[in-house]
Amino acid sequence: MKFGVVTFPGSNCDEDMVYVLETKLGQKVERLWHKDTDLKGVDFVVLPGGFSYGDYLRSGAIARFSPIMTEVIKHAEKGGYVMGICNGFQILCESGLLEGALLHNNSQKFICKNVLLKPVSESAPITKGLEDKAYKIPIAHGEGRFFAPDEMLKSIWDNDQVLFQYVNEELAVTPESNPNGALDNIAGITNKGKNVFGMMPHPERAADSELSNTDGKLIFDSLLKFC
């Protein structure tokens, strides 16, 4: 599979993503610049973490209007795969490719730590190959509190669109395991077509044995197997 990793002004996880895809997963990667108007034939677009355009207005609000996003939206609407991590998730919500919004953490503080996730969706490629266990994945965000109106939230659940929830070691969904106040402890969602994925935690930061954590690589392995 050929991946394209987009760099926006302020992205800071793009090279981490390229490293994992190329070195740890053996995939071909194209580096895409936010002003590009050509996806260079990639099958799977990744919007990495960072602080695109300095998070001015709202996180992801300006990046949504970068020229590359016109092509990303077309790609997704044709069934092409797109994944947004952290700031990338925010951009996907701002662009309308994913439902809901990412609000300021309820603590009003930037949070950087490991959290535990459990896979939820049984039909999305990113979770289909994962065991029912807690995966340790880092977060690093100030605006990661997932929110959706009641009717939209019900639709997301009804359509099996919740990818991950924040949990404790016993896989229990608790207020204490929720780092940012996200509704229903939601850490990631997919679209109705199951080809666009967004998550706040950073699996690319947990995909190398030298970091003593490869839980994130299992998420990428699932993508490669089922996409």
Residues annotated as catalytic are 86, 202, 204
Using only C-alpha atoms, the chain has a radius of gyration, in whole angstroms, of 16
Edge-first strand order for the sheet with 28-33 is 28-33, 2-7, 44-47, 81-85, 196-199, 186-190, 162-166, 111-119, 135-141
CA of 175: how far to CAs of 28, 184, 187, in Å? 40, 9, 13
* Backbone φ, ψ for residue 191 (5° rounding): -85, 175
Tokens standing for residue 112? 């950087």
Cα–Cα distance measured from residue 141 to residue 147, given in angstroms and rounded to the nearest whole number: 15
Neighbours of 192 (CB within 10 A): 12
Q: What are the start-end ranges of the H helices in the chain? A: 14-19, 67-77, 87-94, 125-128, 150-158, 215-226
Cα–Cα distance measured from residue 151 to residue 149, given in angstroms and rounded to the nearest whole number: 6
3-class secondary-structure state, position 58? coil
